[in-house]
A and B are shown apart, each in its own frame.
Chain A
Amino acid sequence: MQQLADKLIQHCALLQGLPHELTYLLVEIVFGSLMLMLFVAPFAGIISWVERRVAARMMDRIGPNRVGPQGFLQWLADGVKSLLKEDIVPSSADSFLFRLAPYLVFAGMFMAFVSIPFTSRVIIADLNVGIFYIIAVTSLVVIGILMSGWASNNKFSLLGGMRSAAQIISYEIPAGLAILVVVLMSGSLSLQEIIKAQGAHPWNWFIFDNPFSFCSFFILFISSLAEGNRTPFDIPEAESELVSGYSTEYSGMRFVFFYFEEWANLYLIAAVGVTLFFGGWQIPPSVREWAVGVHFVLPHILEFATFFIKAMSLVFVIIWIRWTLPRLRVDQLMAMCWQYLIPLGFVMVLGTATWIVLFPQGVPLVRYVLFSGTLGLFGYFFYRVVFHLRYTKAELQFNPFV
């Protein structure tokens, strides 16, 4: 952001009169508010519509299609409706904690966006402890959830809050170990440096660097799902047993804050995954040179598009998993974390360290093999999908305007 501010100061005569610190502050505030207003909030809203539509298609129904074209404005209608709802605080609840909890959950999610990169230049603050900061600040969410579960004075909420806290903190360890693998390979905690350590071509991404980092991505992905309370790890808000878990007693705007966090968190999970393992905003140098020649903004647009498309693919996979897998039981969930993911995470850290000591320059052959193996797997998957589609009437699935 500093470079952007410097450029602004150069080009704008009005700003040159002001102290530079003040200009930086102004740029920071404007950019932060723009990001919340134009990116995070609409993203969380639109993704809620996308999720409902995708879910509907997977269940062979239509989904919301009344508000706006194809129900696209459903999220705005939901927001306005929640704004007009009564804000109920149960009479026996701990009023102060009950009111405070949604803010903590919201702040924990939103502050993580500070060090999420959008392009090579556009990032609110490229902290030198970037990824570590994200792990730390998202822990605020646990406190908020535990607080809401306790303060509601409701058995379902308490159980949901407790389960959620146990689950989130347990899965933070395998997530930390998987991130450690990336830090080993890049030698930096800053998200921009991690992206710069990777290449634009898929075989230069960290996920295909060696077999251990390939596994680490899946450890991180599973742990992120569990930390975001997403199915198959959504026992804290299991509808069939706990009503709605820790958010049972919430209504109106406070309820929206919880769900805002959940959907914006989808992007956070995907963005962290893309940054660490899928090369982030990297575009091939030849494309970048061509884009710079056309207009100086174009490479940034291309970078943002690259990052966003990768992130959205991951978001789609997360939604897809939600409507495919059944949820785990509590004991299975804990066994999954402590008995499989954590030992596996340790093995991956040791394996990657050994790999770096043995082959400091990396092994191109392994990269190509891993990349083409993954491509082959995808190819086989699509072949099977086409095979099965021959025997189903696929009219509803493929017609976008029902």
Chain B
Amino acid sequence: MDPYLSILILFLFAAIVTGGLMFLSQLLNPKKKGTDKTPYESGIQPVGNPRTRFAVKFYLPAMLFILFDVEVVFLYPWAVIFRDFVRSGLGAFIFVEMVIFLGVLVVGLLYIYGRRALDWD
């Protein structure tokens, strides 16, 4: 059987369980109409709108993550066949190839450090 089917089944199962629990909770819990349901802000009325602009520094790690995580993903197929290549005597070849790839990555990382993109303040 396709092992990926079990992922789908478990996903549906998790959905059913959580949905069922929520349904049970909705049946049992008290529902107070008319009470003030403002967001919590230490007991006072909220000041201003939280959905204003937030610091750009949260955006930088996200962008860098995409770059580096995709590079790391590229390394996985290499890692899987690495042993086979070493066994067939081509270890040095596949190793040097990946050192070149990693070298390019490290240059990128050094550039990021140089531009101080990762300094939080």
Contact = CB atoms under 8 A, between A and B. Distances in A.
Interface stretch (A68-76, A170-178, A286-294): A170-178
A110 interface: yes
Contact of B29 (A83, A106, A152): A83
B111 interface: no
Given A103-B18, A173-B65, A187-B83, A334 B11 contact: no
Contacts of B83: 184-187, 356
Contacts, number: 204
B61 A166 contact: yes
A255 B121 CA distance: 33
A97 to B, nearest CB: 12
A21 interface: yes
Interface of A is mostly: helix
Interface stretch (A44-52, A302-310, A346-354, A368-376): A346-354
Most chain B beta-carbon contacts within 10 A, residue among A33, A103, A253, A343: A253
A106 B86 contact: no
Interface of B is mostly: helix
B39 A153 contact: yes
B78 to A, nearest CB: 9
Interface string A14-47: 0000000100110011001100100000000000
Contacts of A165: 58, 62
Nearest to A353: B95
Given A156-B40, A187-B80, A107 B14 contact: yes
Given A85-B29, A114-B6, A334-B118, A154 B61 contact: no
Contact of A114 (B10, B62, B80): B10
A32 B29 CA distance: 29
B40 A176 contact: no
A209 B15 CA distance: 41
Contact of A107 (B11, B22, B37, B80): B11
Number of chain A interface residues as a range: 35 or more
B120 A330 contact: yes
Nearest to A251: B29
Contact of B82 (A36, A113, A356): A356
A151 to B, nearest CB: 10
B51 A158 contact: yes
A180 B102 CA distance: 13
Contacts of B25: 82-85, 87, 252-253
A28 B105 CA distance: 42
A176 B82 contact: no
27 contacts: A29-B9, A87-B25, A90-B38, A91-B37, A91-B38, A102-B18, A103-B18, A124-B10, A127-B3, A163-B58, A173-B72, A176-B69, A180-B79, A183-B80, A184-B79, A184-B82, A184-B83, A187-B81, A189-B76, A243-B40, A248-B39, A335-B118, A338-B61, A342-B68, A353-B82, A356-B82, A357-B91
Give 10 closest A-B pairs by Cβ, nearest first.
A331-B120, A187-B83, A125-B3, A154-B39, A183-B79, A24-B1, A253-B25, A125-B6, A357-B91, A169-B65
Interface of A: 1-2, 5, 21, 24-25, 28-29, 32-33, 36, 82-93, 102-103, 106-107, 110-111, 113-114, 124-127, 132-133, 150, 152-159, 162-163, 165-166, 169-170, 172-173, 176-177, 180, 183-189, 243, 248-249, 252-254, 257, 330-331, 334-335, 338-339, 342-343, 346, 349-350, 353-354, 356-357, 360
Interface of B: 1, 3-7, 9-11, 13-15, 17-18, 21-22, 24-26, 28-32, 36-42, 46, 50-51, 54, 58, 61-62, 64-65, 68-69, 72-73, 75-76, 79-84, 86-87, 91-92, 95, 98-99, 102, 105-106, 109, 112-113, 118-121
